[in-house]
Homo-oligomer: A and B are copies of this chain.
Amino acid sequence: MDEMQKFAREVFESQPFSLFIGAELTAASNDSAELTLSIKDHHKQQHGFVHGGVISYLADNAMTFAGGLALGGNALTAEFKINYIRPGKGERLVARAHARSAGKRLAVCQCEIYAVDSGVEKLCALAQGSVVPAN
């Protein structure tokens, strides 16, 4: 793992909310990041599926890391949009984000969120947003 990926992991592990919700940074490259969440009952809404807010957290944060890696430092998601496609259910959710473009001030990222149910991965949501350097 190179320096930037090590830095990404350290940043991730210093996010109290990511630890609280139980997410893991499971992959990172120079312009992409993957978060994985083992689905627990406390992630759910009234119908027994993962709450949209959990999915939007994964999208937001995976894009922050993909964008930060592309921009080369600490970063923030400035805005994003998400379309929910299928209910989040099964063993785990996997959010894969990558930067589609990166300048000095901005990276535009996309994220695909999959639900892995009985070992089968299905597209659960799609997101797109802007990531900016943290300062």
In chain A, positions 56-99 with a C-beta closer than 8 Å to chain B are 56-58, 60-61, 64, 74, 76-86
| Identity of the chain B residue whose Cβ is nearest the Cβ of A77 in the assembled complex | B52
In the complex, the answer to whether B57 meets A51 with C-beta atoms within 8 Å is yes
What is the oligomeric copy number? 4
Q: A52-B76, A101-B123, A126-B128 are in contact. Are A15 and B45 (CB under 8 A)?
A: yes
In the complex, the answer to whether B126 meets A110 with C-beta atoms within 8 Å is yes
In the complex, the answer to whether A53 meets B46 with C-beta atoms within 8 Å is no
Q: A78-B106, A78-B130, A82-B80 are in contact. Are A42 and B17 (CB under 8 A)?
A: yes
In the complex, the answer to whether B108 meets A46 with C-beta atoms within 8 Å is no
In the complex, the answer to whether A56 meets B60 with C-beta atoms within 8 Å is yes
A133 to B73 alpha-carbon distance, docked (Å)? 23
What chain B residues lie within 8 Å of A19 (beta carbons)?
Answer: 42
In the complex, the answer to whether B60 meets A41 with C-beta atoms within 8 Å is no
11 contacts between A and B (CB under 8 A): A15-B51, A16-B43, A17-B44, A17-B50, A51-B57, A53-B57, A56-B56, A78-B106, A80-B82, A83-B128, A127-B128
